[in-house]
Structure 1
Amino acid sequence: MTYCIGISLNAGIVLTSDSRTNAGIDNVSTYSKMHVCKSNPDRFLVLLSAGNLATTQGVVQQVTRDVDEAMPLNINSMNYMADAADYVGGILVNQINKYNETTGFMPDATLILGGQIQGRPANLYMIYPQGNHITSSSETPYLQIGESKYGKPVLDRFLDDQTSLEDAAICSLISMDSTMKSNASVGPPIELLTYQNNQFNSAKRRRFAAGDPYLQTIRHEWANQLNNAFHAMPRMESFGANAKSDNLV
C-alpha cells in the first residue's frame, strides 16, 4: 500500500510520500515514491506514485528518456502544467495497456504531478490510470493517492490555501502518521518536499527514517494533545439534569 499527499498553497506546494511497498505480508520492500523530474531551469516538476511499482517505474523512466533524447514531446516542451499532466497521463496509459491483458496482473497506478513552469502558477494534478486528471482547488487545497482515508480528517480541519509551507508540512506529517497508525502497509522512510513559488532550484527535500527524532516528536505530541483534548470534553451530565433519557429496557 502507499500514501502520498500533495498540498497546493498560495506560497507554494508541499509533497509527502511513504516508501513502503508490499506484495503480501512476507514481501515488504522500500522504494521511493517521490521522483523529481529532470527538467530545464525554468521549471520544477515532481511525480508522486501509487499503485503497481513496475508501471510507475516505467512512467518515470519514459519521462526521463524523453528529456535525454530531446523528443518533440517531453516535460520541457510543455508551456502549462495541465499540458504536462496530459503528457504524463498518456505515458501512464501506454504503460498500463502493455499488460492489461495479462491474467492475474493489476498494472494500474495513480500519480500526483506537482510543480511550476516559469510564468505560470504552481499547481498539482492527480492523474488517474485512464490518463485523465483533476487539480486541487482553494476550497480543497490537497490531493491524496493510495491509502487516503485515515489521513484525510486532519487535512480537512487545518488546511486552506493561506496555510504556510511549514504548517502544511507539519500537517502532512501528522496525516502520514495517522495513516501509519491505522495501516501497517504504509511506512517509513517518509519523504517530504517543500517548494516555494518561483524558486526553481531551491526546493527542500527531507527524508525521515522510522526512528527519526523529529518524526517521533510529531507522533508523541499529536497523540498527547489529542488525548488531552478528549479528556477536556464536557461530560454529558454537565448539560443539565433535565436532559431526557430513553429507557431502552
Structure 2
Amino acid sequence: MTYCIAVSLKDGLVLTSDSRTNAGIDNVSIYGKMHAFCTASDRKIVLLSAGNLATTQAVIDQLKRDMKEETAVNLDTVNYLSEAAEYLGRISVEKQRRHVDAGQSSFNPSATFILAGQIGQEPHGAYLVYPEGNCITTSRQTPYLQIGENKYGKPVLDRFLKIDTSLHEAGRCCLISMDSTMRSNASVGAPVELLIYHRDSLVLDEYYCFQEDNEYLSKIRKMWHEKLKEAFATLPQFSKEDSRPLPGCI
C-alpha cells in the first residue's frame, strides 16, 4: 500500500508521498513513489504512483524511453498537462493489458498515478490518472488529489486546505495527513518525500526527505497529538438531563 497527495494552490504545488511497498512482520520494502523527469527547460513534470510496482516501473521506463527516442508524443512534446495525463493513461493501460494478456489471472496489474507540474506559460496543475486511463484534476473547492490509502489523511486536508493556502502551510498539512495515515495503517511508512513547487519557477529546488526518526517529523507528530488531546478535553460535555428512554424499548 502507499499514500500520495498532490495539492494545487494559487502559488504552486505541494507533492507528498510515502515510500513503503510491502509491510509485514519480517517483510518491509521501501521504494520511492515520487518521480521527477529530466524534461526540456520550459517544463517541469513530476509523477506520484500507487498500485502494482511492476506496472509503475514499466510505465516510468516507457516515459523515459519515449523522451530519449524522441517519439512523436512524449513529455517534451506535449503542450498541456492534460495532454500529458492522457498520454500517461494510454501507456498505463497498455502495460496493464500486457500482464493480463500473458495469462496472469491472479495478478492485479492496476496502477494509479498523479501527474503534476507546469508546461511553459500554461498554469501549473495536477491530474489523477486512473487505472482505466481516464483522469481528473483539482478544483477551487477541492484543491488536492490523493492516491493509495487515502481515507485516514483526508479529514485534515478537507479542514485546512484552501486555494489560497500558503505553500508551506499546505506542506505541514500534508505531513500531518501522512502521519495520520501512517499511525492508522502500517502499510504506509517513511521515508516521507515532500516537494514544493513555486508557480512559474520551472525549477524543483525545494525537496525534503523525512526518515522515520527525523527530528522535525517527530516534533510535529508530538505537537499534533498533544493539541488534539487538549482540544478534545475542552469540548463541551453533554448532559444526562437531556437524555430520554430509547424509543420502542420497554
Range of TM-score over shorter length: over 0.9
Contact 2:96 2:110 in 1 (8 A): yes
* Identical-residue share of aligned pairs (%): 52
Contact 2:20 2:30 in 1 (8 A): yes
Shift of 1:245: 2.9
Aligned counterpart, 2:47: 47
Moved more, 99-108 or 206-215: 99-108
Give the Cα separation in 2 of the matches to 1:244 and 1:173: 40
Shift of 1:217: 0.6
Residues 1:147 and 2:149 aligned together: yes
2:233 counterpart (228, 231, 234) = 231
Moved more, 24-33 or 3-12: 24-33
Q: Runs of 4 or more off by more than 3 Å in structure 1?
A: 23-26
Q: Secondary structure at the match of 1:45?
A: strand
Give the Cα separation in 2 of the matches to 1:61 and 1:98: 15
Q: Secondary structure at the match of 2:242?
A: coil
Give the Cα separation in 2 of the matches to 1:180 and 1:131: 28
Aligned counterpart, 1:59: 59
Shift of 1:171: 0.3
Residues 1:182 and 2:184 aligned together: yes
Aligned counterpart, 1:20: 20
Aligned counterpart, 2:208: 206
Unaligned runs of 5+ in 2: none
Give the Cα separation in 1 of the matches to 2:11 and 2:87: 26
Aligned counterpart, 1:116: 118
Q: TM-score, normalised on structure 2?
A: 0.95
Deviations 1:27-51 (A, max 9, x none): 3200000000120110010000000
Give the Cα separation in 2 of the matches to 1:99 and 1:173: 35
Q: Could you say what the CA RMSD is over the residues aligned between the two structures, in angstroms?
A: 1.4
Give the Cα separation in 1 of the matches to 2:23 and 2:176: 26
Give the Cα separation in 2 of the matches to 1:28 and 1:88: 29
Amino acid at match of 1:194: I
Aligned counterpart, 1:246: 245
Unaligned runs of 5+ in 1: none
